[in-house]
Amino acid sequence: MTKETLTEIQIARALQDKMLSRSAVTETRSVVLALMKADEIEIAVEWLREAYADDPTLKIEDHGVYYRIDCAEEFTFDLDEIQDMVGRPYSVYDFLVNVSTTVGRAYVNGNTFTITTALIGWESEVPR
């Protein structure tokens, strides 16, 4: 083996050790949602900010072309209320077009979108 190959192997092993260490993976009760920006999403994010104003765990970060929303346990977008603010028909399915990724369990119930840590069907009722 060459010196360069040995160094690459050492780096790979160090990375593997770090990834598999106890400190690399941590349990969390937080949920995350990434939303691609659009005019309606701007309104939805403002609605969420107001609806969860008393929740100190809600964090909304502007990343240029998308929003990253973090919160402990769960949060819900009520698209009936947001639709009134948008001023035209805007359903949960229109909203879902801009959902980029989630960390947590996402579900639709009527015209609401929720992301939660709950084990739906075990820890809570399945929405009907």
Domain boundaries, the chain: 30-116
Residue 120's identity, in one-letter code, is I
At residue 12, does pLDDT exceed 80? yes
Helix, strand, or coil (residue 57): coil
Q: Is the pLDDT of residue 4 over 90?
A: no
Mean pLDDT of 103-119: 93
> Does the domain formed by 30-116 have CATH 3.60.15.10?
no
Tokens of 42: 């701007």
Select the more confidently predicted residue: 3 or 56.
56
**Each residue's pLDDT tens digit, 25-77:** 677 789 999 999 999 999 999 999 999 999 999 999 999 999 999 999 999 99
Q: For residue 38, count other CB atoms closer than 10 A to its CB.
A: 13
Q: Classify residue 43 by burial, with Cβ atoms within 10 Å: 0-12, 13-18, 19+.
A: middle
Q: How confident is the model at residue 11 (pLDDT cuts 50, 70, 90)?
A: confident
